[in-house]
Amino acid sequence: MRQEDRVTYKPFNLQGKVALITGGNRGIGFGMAQALAQSGADVAIWGTSAARNEEAAAALAAEGVNAAAWRVDVSNEDEVMAAMADVASTMGRIDAVFANAGIGYGAPSFVDMDTAVYRKVMSVNLDGVFWTFREACRHMVSRAQAGDPGGSLVGVASLAAIEGAARNEAYAATKGAVISMIKSIAVEHARYGVRANAILPGWIATDMTANAQANPAFADKVLPRIPARRWGRPEDFGGVAVYLASDASAYHSGDLFVVDGGYAIF
Ligand code: NAD
């Protein structure tokens, strides 16, 4: 008997499931989308750049699944509502939603942070997640009421939600709020078979952290404080994404998944 024939536990096979990843055209979102596609899920991605969307969707379709992209600004309620309805009708259903789209900003200090920056980060990182999850829940609740319960909602928060992140007060507030929102959603929607969890990335090498990656002081001071002694990579989020989209996590809700190479406990 070949080794693979002896594997009978296969909950991580996502064939027949549809996953939506906001901000799925690059970075952590694309890392998750790629693993989900490689596990058999059909994938829908949202992003603001049409060119990046098309490139990412083509790479995901090359995994042999149905993959499509929508140009959506998650800080626009109408766009989120229209796109969620369109994904459900085009892809047939939505089983897992990863609210990953997010932005950072460079602020010299809290006292120098202006209101426009505060409003902008709130609109993408918090309003965007609220509308994405509300529309996802509307789909999942009505599907459950029609006799087909189930679903997984995943918010990409940040260690900034639970650790003091200097010069990041607005960003940290959005991520803390996302965690609180997820816990409420988890309790309210368990009766529909829907679970909700948060992922808290540590220091991950993406466009968002380009400045830190290029800063020698960061390499000297922060990298030695990461037990894994390296930056996280988008593909480090594949495993947790597949687990949360799969039936293996059917009884796992309201939890926080810290993916940081051990940074938070060191
Ligand atoms: P990234 O900049 O590489 O990717 C961000 C993605 O979000 C892109 O696909 C972009 O198109 C999309 N996006 C941005 N604004 C959008 C909008 N208004 N509407 C729709 N899509 C939008 O960043 P990343 O590092 O991959 O970040 C992904 C998530 O992880 C974010 O929520 C971020 O806050 C979080 N995070 C990142 C780190 C890190 O170290 N990189 C750490 C903690 C948390």
> Tens digits of per-residue pLDDT, 44-98?
999 999 999 999 999 999 999 999 999 999 999 999 999 999 999 999 999 999 9
Is 101 a member of any domain? yes
Question: Would 261 be classed as within a structural domain?
Answer: no
pLDDT at 226 > cutoff 80: yes
Catalytic sites, residue numbers: 171
In a domain, 266, yes or no: no
Residue nearest to atom 10 of ligand 1 (CA): 23
C-alpha 109/C-alpha 210 separation (Å) is 19
With beta carbons less than 8 A apart as the criterion, state whether 76 and 46 touch: no
pLDDT single digits (tens) 173-196: 999 999 999 999 999 999 999 999
Domain count, the chain: 1
Helix axes 50-61, 27-38, angle to 10 degrees: 20
Token pair of 146 as six digits: 């029609």
Position 2 confidence tier, pLDDT thresholds 50, 70, 90 = low
Please give the Cα distance from 171 to 97 (Å, whole number): 21
In this structure, what CATH number is given to the domain that contains residue 186?
3.40.50.720
Residue 26 lies in a domain: yes
Give 148 Cα–ligand 1 centroid separation in angstroms: 32
Look at residue 237 in the predicted model and tell me its pLDDT.
Answer: 99
Percent residues over pLDDT 90 in the chain: 95
For the whole model, what pTM was predicted? 0.98
For range 15-27, the mean pLDDT: 98
Q: What is the pLDDT of residues 113-160, one digit of tens each?
A: 999 999 999 999 999 999 999 999 999 999 999 999 999 999 999 999
- Residue % of the chain over a pLDDT of 70: 98
What range does the domain containing 58 cover?
A: 12-254
Q: Would residue 265 count as lying in a domain?
A: no
Q: Are 57 and 28 in contact (CB under 8 A)?
A: no
Interatomic CA distance for residues 152 and 18, integer angstroms? 11
Helix (H) or strand (E) holding 42: strand 42-47
What's the gap in Å between 87 CA and the centre of ligand 1?
21
Q: What is the pLDDT of residue 1?
A: 58
| Residue 216 CA to its chain's centroid (Å) | 29
Range in 57-61, 117-121, 219-223, 255-259 with the lowest mean pLDDT: 219-223
Distance 75 CA to ligand 1 centre (A): 13
- Decide if 262 is inside a domain: no
The answer as to whether 187 is a domain residue is yes
Atom of ligand 1 nearest to the CA of 204: 40
Residues 25 and 67: beta-carbon distance below 8 Å: no
- For ligand 1, which residues put their CB under 6 angstroms from it? 22-23, 25-29, 46-49, 72-75, 100-103, 124, 156, 158, 201, 203-204, 206-209
Query: Where does the pLDDT of residue 106 fall: very low under 50, low under 70, confident under 90, or very high at 90 and above?
Result: confident
- Structural domain includes residue 1: no
